[in-house]
Amino acid sequence: MTEIQHAQLAADTAAAGGVVMLVGAPDTGKTTLSHQIMTEGVKAGKSIAYVDADVGQSTVGPPTCVGLRWINSADDLDNLSKAVELRVVGSTSPERLVLQQVLATATLVDVGRRSADLVVIDTTGAVSGVVGQTLKYHKMELCRPELVVALQRGAEMEPVIGMLRRFFAGRVETLPVDPEVAPVSPHERSELRQAGFAVAFEDPLERWRVRPTVFAPTISAGLDFARLNGVLVGVQDGEGRCLGLGALEYDEGVLRVVTNCGEGMQGLRLGSLRVDLKNHKVQRVNLREVMFGLDR
Ligand SMILES: Nc1ncnc2c1ncn2[C@@H]1O[C@H](COP(=O)(O)OP(=O)(O)OP(=O)(O)O)[C@@H](O)[C@H]1O
Ligand SMILES: [Mg+2]
């Protein structure tokens, strides 16, 4: 029964086109349903933009980034990892960086909307509490989807759904979670993220010397650069795009960025993680603490 509902929604959504956003708690089948909608879209001959806004369990592009991919054939769906455009958020949990998360997603949805018949937004499982709801509210506000599909167990999404229906014109549909959906353990999630960072930092890595003036947010002249060691950065071009990830390295008085996407680099956006390039494990950092020594 659930299977039929999902298949019907995928076919109807693909036929209608426009922007659709999938929301739901972790492990509710958002990514799987995104694929199903896009498979139907390809069959219906639609040009599709897939915006992967899940910065923790990324399908398109590296973790910490929102990625855009054009989908025009079934083959494209088998090979989603390479993004055509990226926007860096800087964390694997959007709860900490709501502004960056919302803007990164909305910017790529706009790029998608300009050229594709169908834009599919896959989101993170952050849906509850003040932060999760604020995130979804502003995503709705800026991405302006014609349809939101909320996957829910029981009535868990009702608060978010009620809020979106009250404040916005887009249609909000609910679907039950398929009972076959298998939860991914925290350990598996962390291993998947590590594998994602390993790909983002695969060879050929280069070390580029960087001036302290290239950062956003800017860093103060008096900062002890050793504090920046290992900090994750988005490598930016001069048109707002992220080219990929880098990690800062401070050694013998010289600040460098280690990256495999330094061609065309115009600046670096500071992320809120430190990455160990030996094992690709990450740790949260508080930028304010790094910059000013304040622990809040
Ligand atoms: N209809 C289904 N039948 C069988 N297995 C499914 C179905 N939908 C999802 N799954 C499986 O359940 C797992 C979780 O699904 P999926 O990744 O789509 O969820 P998600 O909501 O995107 O999760 P996350 O919050 O991690 O992004 C996956 O291993 C997927 O293959
Ligand atoms: Mg997913």
Instruction: Summarize pLDDT for 184-209 with one digit per residue, the tens.
Output: 888 988 899 999 999 999 999 999 99
Residue 281's nearest CA partner among 63, 123, 80 is: 63
The last residue of one of the domains, among 159, 176, 193, is 176
Same domain, 41 and 154: yes
How are the residues of the chain apportioned to helix, strand and coil, as percentages rounded to the nearest 5? 35, 25, 35
Q: What is the CATH number of the domain that holds 130?
A: 3.40.50.300
- Structural domain contains residue 288: yes
Cα of 29 vs centre of ligand 1, distance in Å, is: 4
Ligand closest to the CA atom of residue 178: 1
Give the position, in ligand 1's atom list, of the atom nearest the Cα of 189: 26
Same domain, 206 and 170: no
* Atom 19 of ligand 1, residue of closest alpha carbon: 29
The last residue of one of the domains, among 142, 176, 210, is 176
Q: Given the structure tokens 């790529």, which residue do they identify?
A: 108
The tokens of 99 are what?
A: 């502004």
- Structural domain contains residue 192: no
pTM above 0.75, yes or no: yes
Count of helix runs (H) and strand runs (E) in the chain: 8, 14
Cα of 182 vs centre of ligand 1, distance in Å, is: 6
* Atom 4 of ligand 1, residue of closest alpha carbon: 180
Same domain, 141 and 285: no
Residues 213-266: pLDDT tens digits? 999 999 887 888 999 999 999 999 999 999 999 999 999 889 999 999 999 999
Same domain, 244 and 106: no
User: pLDDT tens string for the chain (296 positions)?
Assistant: 888 999 999 999 999 999 999 999 999 999 999 999 999 999 999 999 999 999 988 889 999 999 999 999 999 999 888 899 999 999 998 888 999 999 999 999 999 999 999 999 999 888 888 899 999 999 999 999 999 999 999 999 999 999 999 999 999 999 999 888 888 888 988 899 999 999 999 999 999 999 999 999 998 878 889 999 999 999 999 999 999 999 999 998 899 999 999 999 999 999 999 999 999 999 999 888 888 775 44
Cα of 218 vs centre of ligand 2, distance in Å, is: 33
Same domain, 124 and 224: no
Same domain, 163 and 23: yes
Question: How many domains are there within the chain?
Answer: 2
Same domain, 165 and 221: no
* Atom 7 of ligand 1, residue of closest alpha carbon: 181
Same domain, 230 and 129: no
Looking at every residue in the chain, the average pLDDT score rounds to 93
Locate the DSSP E strands across 53-186. 65-71, 85-88, 118-122, 147-152, 171-176
Cα of 44 vs centre of ligand 2, distance in Å, is: 24
Ligand 1 pocket, Cβ-based, cut-off 6 angstroms: 24, 26-32, 54, 57, 125, 178, 180-182, 184
Domain that holds residue 49: 2-176
The three-class DSSP label of residue 195 is: helix
- Structural domain contains residue 277: yes
Name 178's bridge partners: none
Cα of 36 vs centre of ligand 2, distance in Å, is: 13
Same domain, 95 and 236: no
End-to-end CA distance of the chain: 49
- Structural domain contains residue 193: no
